[in-house]
Structure 1
Amino acid sequence: MSEAVDAVLTWVDGEDPAHVAKRRAFDPGFGAAGVEATRFASRDEIRFSLLALLKFAPWLRRIHIVTDGQIPSVVTELWADPAMQDRVRIVDHRVIYAGHEDLLPIFSGRTIETALFRIPDLAERYLYLNDDFFLIRPVQQADFFTEKGPVLRGQWMTRAYGLVPLLQLAVGRLKRRGKNWQPVGFKLQQLRAARLVGWGLRFFSIGHTPHPLRRSTFQRFQAAHPGVIEANMAPRFRHGSQFNPASLANHLELAAGTAVIAPSDNTVYFRADVDKPQRVREKIAEAEARENALFICVNSLDQAGAQVQADILAFLRRRIL
């Protein structure tokens, strides 16, 4: 396959005093979702995520890092090589929100993801990754795209799953009495995306893995459904009305017959804030031994204990640097 493929990473240094002050100025108050400091914390994960893409997916045309007036130090280092100045690009929120500047600033990853297809000169086919996703083995274009379209990793789930968040909402209101609290679960937002496409009794649930997407899929949906994309681009923090944009694209591709479903066991998932040191060592051993483990996701590294952080960072250094 010769068609160019880009990668898009979203990143923010949430401990930057200027960013902290900006978040505080727009803090929606008690009970809101997605305001926790851990969602913005950085342990330099972007370094490993970016360098892993360059090492294990050298066929990528460009890597776009979408951020809010910041440049990670690893990019500054890479830009010492003039060739990297075009291959690794910084894309400010103001660029993808051109024409919608009144919505800025944005602090929700889900909101920002909705606008990624607006990146100037973005390839038709692109991979979207959070900065806590890491390639750990060489991958090929065919791992993400076929001639038909994207290669999806996940599993089918019944739409009855939607009853669970509704129960959570009822219980949460009783416990919190907070008018801003709403269910914004990862799978619930995928369920909403499936409903936008008209799926019946089930939906395709994706996990924490790189997402292969096509720019034209979003463009066609936006043209056919005016205002839907724009509404999802609006909330500054996560909101209960939002859908998962990658899931929207997946269901559109599935409905059109242009997606291929691959085995979903290519990711080793770390809950760094919950996993105990022994469990982390077991997962590291699994990632090192299992040849079909192409990616890892490390959730909430900033909240992990010192030993867990040290073990995970040592593993990333061995595999990537």
Structure 2
Amino acid sequence: MDFVLIWVDGGDEEWLKEKAKYSGTPVDNAAARFRDWGLLKYWFRGVEQFAPWVDKVHFVTCGHTPAWLNLDHPKINFVRHSEYIPAKYLPTFNSHTIELNLHRIKDLSEEFVYFNDDMFLVAPAKPTDFFRNGLPCDEASMQFLLPKRYNISKSIDGHNMGVLNRNFSKKKSVRKHPFKFFHPAYGLKNNLYTLYTMASPVFSGFKRTHTAQSFLKSTFVDLWEKEPEVLDATCACKFRSFFNVNQYLFRYWQIAQGRFAPVNMHSVRQRFDLDVDDAGDIAKAICERKYKAICINEDENENLDVFENIQKKLVAAFEQILPQKSTFEK
């Protein structure tokens, strides 16, 4: 089993200049979303401490690397965008393009776990937390799409569902795998919600799990064979768009096929949103190791004082559980 991590160095001046050239946005206004939280080394420390069993870490960037990273580490495969993303899509500043082509990474294993750079291991994990009997661990809790600021026709999830329903019959999928769509691990509330959605003849949405995601490489190959035009249209966009599809489509595809092992995702992997959750509570969750994997989803607050205060709390929490340098560091 491999891990895949994508990363952007938001302080790379050359990258910012190139991004500004394609976006038409001045560099000074383009950097806030990509600021460095100084947490990347804790991702690698977490992998070494809590998942020493992983075979390979595919570290994906446009070409830049942190100065402290030991690229000679036997478990690291440093992957540039140009080494796996088709040239016609490059350069890209669209995370969806980076994600939709992950199966093209050389020597990527069939079973892999995908991480954004805001997702961390914070407690000992086992391979069975991510895969069981060759199947990705996941949760098929269904819901209705409830977009807040845009209609369903102009939402990424709306487009994902359109592609999914074009290829799968919800009724047939549920009939074929009833105990995967309804499972005790999901809890009574989620099972009741899924039952409620049965009134809809099509897949109407799934409970979001913005955390480390288990994938089969063959899922990517299958979807590219079935829907090349849709994926090509997204990859052709230099920047993210509401008219894109994204990596969740591959997750939904696996669920519709029944190619997953039912688990309670939120008992192992948890997401925190910095615009909702207090940084102190997140730091506490890190220190108490209540979950094995967490996502710290950043809001786009540009207040420097707020950012620095949150950063200090998070760094202190990670230092408490992962104080020792890993062999991934020089």
Q: Which category describes the TM-score, using the shorter chain as reference length?
A: 0.7 to 0.9
Distance 1:237 1:214, change over 3 A: same
CA distance in 2 between counterparts of 1:155 and 1:38 reads 34
Residue 13 of structure 1 contacts residue 42 of structure 1 at CA under 8 Å; is this kept in 2? yes
AA aligned opposite 1:109:
S
CA distance in 2 between counterparts of 1:203 and 1:274 reads 23
Q: Percent identity?
A: 25
* Corresponding residue number in structure 2 for 1:179: none
Residue 130 of structure 2 contacts residue 214 of structure 2 at CA under 8 Å; is this kept in 1? yes
* Corresponding residue number in structure 2 for 1:250: 251
Shift of 1:110: 1.7
1:56 equivalent to 2:45? Answer no
CA distance in 2 between counterparts of 1:52 and 1:311 reads 18
Residue 122 of structure 2 contacts residue 289 of structure 2 at CA under 8 Å; is this kept in 1? no
* Corresponding residue number in structure 1 for 2:261: 260
Summarize the alignment of residues 169-188 of structure 1 with structure 2, pairs less than 5 Å apart: 187-188=157-158
Residue 231 of structure 2 contacts residue 245 of structure 2 at CA under 8 Å; is this kept in 1? no
AA aligned opposite 2:31:
A
Summarize the alignment of residues 119-130 of structure 1 with structure 2, pairs less than 5 Å apart: 119-130=105-116
1:19 aligned residue (12, 15, 18): 15
CA distance in 1 between counterparts of 2:123 and 2:223 reads 34
CA distance in 2 between counterparts of 1:273 and 1:236 reads 27
Shift of 1:197: 4.0
CA distance in 1 between counterparts of 2:264 and 2:164 reads 21
Deviates more, 1:5-14 or 1:46-55: 46-55
Distance 1:228 1:290, change over 3 A: same
CA distance in 2 between counterparts of 1:295 and 1:96 reads 27
AA aligned opposite 1:120:
K
Shift of 1:164: 6.2
CA distance in 2 between counterparts of 1:302 and 1:47 reads 22
CA distance in 2 between counterparts of 1:163 and 1:191 reads 17
Shift of 1:196: 5.1
Residue 59 of structure 2 contacts residue 78 of structure 2 at CA under 8 Å; is this kept in 1? yes
2:321 counterpart SS class: helix
2:102 aligned residue (100, 113, 116): 116
Shift of 1:102: 2.8
1:83-113: CA deviation from partner (whole Å, max 9, x where unpaired): x1x311210010112xx31321111112211
Name the TM-score, length of structure 2 as normaliser: 0.77
AA aligned opposite 1:166:
N
Summarize the alignment of residues 7-46 of structure 1 with structure 2, pairs less than 5 Å apart: 7-27=3-23, 37-46=31-40
Shift of 1:162: 5.5
1:90 counterpart SS class: strand
Distance 1:153 1:42, change over 3 A: farther
CA distance in 2 between counterparts of 1:223 and 1:231 reads 14
2:265 counterpart SS class: coil
1:96 aligned residue (70, 81, 84): 84
Shift of 1:53: 1.5
AA aligned opposite 2:38:
D
Shift of 1:147: 1.1
CA distance in 2 between counterparts of 1:135 and 1:230 reads 33
Distance 1:196 1:66, change over 3 A: farther
| Runs of 5+ consecutive residues of structure 1 not aligned to the other structure | 170-182
* Corresponding residue number in structure 2 for 1:87: 75
CA distance in 2 between counterparts of 1:29 and 1:191 reads 32
Distance 1:28 1:118, change over 3 A: farther
* Corresponding residue number in structure 2 for 1:73: 67
Distance 1:28 1:114, change over 3 A: farther
- CA RMSD between the two structures: 2.7
Name the TM-score, length of structure 1 as normaliser: 0.79
Residue 7 of structure 1 contacts residue 127 of structure 1 at CA under 8 Å; is this kept in 2? yes
Distance 1:94 1:290, change over 3 A: closer
* Corresponding residue number in structure 1 for 2:308: 306
Residue 189 of structure 1 contacts residue 244 of structure 1 at CA under 8 Å; is this kept in 2? no
Residue 7 of structure 1 contacts residue 126 of structure 1 at CA under 8 Å; is this kept in 2? yes
CA distance in 2 between counterparts of 1:191 and 1:165 reads 16
1:128 counterpart SS class: strand
2:228 counterpart SS class: coil
Shift of 1:184: 5.2
AA aligned opposite 1:46:
L
Residue 43 of structure 1 contacts residue 301 of structure 1 at CA under 8 Å; is this kept in 2? no
Distance 1:190 1:226, change over 3 A: closer
1:156 counterpart SS class: coil
CA distance in 2 between counterparts of 1:271 and 1:284 reads 13
CA distance in 2 between counterparts of 1:104 and 1:237 reads 11
CA distance in 2 between counterparts of 1:11 and 1:297 reads 14
1:204-246: CA deviation from partner (whole Å, max 9, x where unpaired): 233221000011111122223333332222211001221122x
